[in-house]
Amino acid sequence: MIARTFPVLALLALTACATAETTTADTGGADPNPAGWRLTSGKEPSKAEFAALAATCQDKAKDSIDTCLADLGLKRAE
């Protein structure tokens, strides 16, 4: 019984570790922070809006994130 249970538990543990590493790698290890950014309307973007725009910029990966966010309509708060 132990000979069958141990490999299953080991597989589950490895799967959990791999999933945790993938999640932090996708987000850069940090939550999106819209503080300091404003939409063209002057409002601060919600976390969901900012996360979507930041993800778009990470996919492009040509320019810096600040330049990309500016191209998408965000500007730094003054």
Residue 54's pLDDT is 85
Q: Are residues 71 and 45 in the same domain?
A: yes
44 and 69 fall within a common domain = yes
Q: 17-45 in b/e burial notation, b at 16+ Cβ within 10 A?
A: eeeeeeeeeeeeeeebebeebbbeeeeeb
Q: For residue 66, count other CB atoms closer than 10 A to its CB.
A: 13
Domain containing residue 23: 1-28
Q: Are residues 41 and 77 in the same domain?
A: yes
Total of domains in the chain: 2
pTM, rounded to two decimals: 0.53
Instruction: Express each pLDDT in 29-65 by its tens digit.
Output: 445 678 888 988 888 988 888 888 888 888 776 778 8
Q: Rounded distance, CA 27 to CA 29, Å? A: 5
% of the chain exceeding 70 in pLDDT: 68
Confidence of residue 78 (pLDDT cuts 50, 70, 90): confident
Claim to verify: residue 43 and residue 77 sit in the same structural domain: yes
pLDDT of 74 over the 60 cut = yes
Q: Are residues 36 and 22 in the same domain?
A: no
Residue 2 confidence (pLDDT): 66
